[in-house]
Amino acid sequence: MTVHFPVMGREICESLPMGESLVIVDGTFGFGGHFKLIQEALGKRLKKYIGIEQDPFLFSRMRQEFRRTPHLTLVQGNFRNIDQLLPSGLTPDVFLLDLGMNTEQLTSGERGFSFREDGPLDMRLNPVTQHVTALDVIRDFSEQELVDAFKVCSSVRSVRALVRRMKEFVALKDVPKTTKTLISAIRSLLPREKRIHPATTVFQTLRILVNDELGALEEGLFKMMPKGPSRRRIMVLSFHSVEHRVVKQFFLKHGDVGKMKTRKPICPSELELKQNPSSRSAQLRVFECYEKKP
């Protein structure tokens, strides 16, 4: 199994509210790395931890691994539907979102997330319930829709030329439609990056479109906000400039029910950057909802 490093685990634990019997909802459970750290940090203060995981294959593995863990309940689903996934009447003290992909998903070619291993142009986080693949996005989205998305999310300069090349690629009948053949078709238009693979932001943009990640983020955050004044802390770990902006603007927009505890986003320490270079783009924002008035 790929080693998984929970990003900014110490900072997340330090950002938890004080008080006894905390109920925490983790909308992106993954391998449970943050849960393990929070469980150790809180001890008896942890009343209940609900972990939501979208990937059905990862959920099945984690349900088996944590089957005898006290205070933990695992739920399979997308956090955008968090209002339907939580028990009726539950009042969480903390919502936690880690918007990063785990290393195992990114490096496995089987589902098309990897640009290093060949695989299908799929990129669905939940292939059981989702029907639109990366190939469908390239083929069926309009040229302008793709141009707009790649302008916002990718580092490619010749965006319109990139989109046209991708459209031409999917129209070819005798070329296998895989991650490697796509990269070959667009290679001359990719940025000459030394620090990261030149196809990184192209694949990231396709994944965001396939899984409607920005729409899910806004919808999920909206459903995490309290209906009235109440104590609640929302913690979001984002990894992309577009995600950073969405989270920041959402919290600023809801200043009537709370305020950001992080005037500036919390970033990984120098030590963490050395131990886990993939954390370099991470930013943690914490939003504190107002207490109930007597």
Mean pLDDT score of the chain, rounded to an integer? Answer: 92
Backbone angles phi, psi at 35, to 5 degrees: -60, -45
Distance of CA 24 to the CA centre of its chain: 18
pLDDT value for 232: 92
Q: Is the pLDDT of residue 40 over 70?
A: yes
Tens digits of per-residue pLDDT, 204-220? 999 999 999 999 999 99
Percent of the residues in the chain that have a pLDDT greater than 90, as a whole number: 80
pLDDT value for 231: 84
Tokens of 33: 């790395």
Q: Is the pLDDT of residue 294 over 50?
A: no
Could you tell me the residue ranges of all domains in the chain? 9-104+213-289, 131-210
Tokens of 190: 């990719």
Dihedral angle sign, alpha carbons of residues 43, 44, 46, 50: positive
Dihedral angle sign, alpha carbons of residues 119, 124, 126, 129: negative
Is-same-fold flag (9-104+213-289; 131-210)?
Answer: no
Tens digits of per-residue pLDDT, 184-205? 999 999 988 777 888 999 999 9
pLDDT value for 32: 96
Bridge-based pairing state of the strands 72-76 and 232-238: unpaired
Cβ-based neighbours of 136, under 8 Å, separated by 6 or more: none
**CA 237, 243, 249, 255: dihedral to nearest 10 degrees?**
-20
Asked if 36 and 26 touch (Cβ cutoff 8 Å), the reply is no
Of residues 194 and 155, more confidently modeled: 155
Helix (H) or strand (E) holding 185: helix 179-186
Asked if 166 and 146 touch (Cβ cutoff 8 Å), the reply is yes
Helix (H) or strand (E) holding 143: helix 143-153
pLDDT value for 253: 94
Write out the CATH class of domain 9-104+213-289. alpha beta
Q: Give the number of residues written for the chain.
A: 294
Asked if 8 and 268 touch (Cβ cutoff 8 Å), the reply is yes
Q: Is the pLDDT of residue 49 over 70?
A: yes
CATH topology of domain 131-210: DNA polymerase; domain 1 (1.10.150)
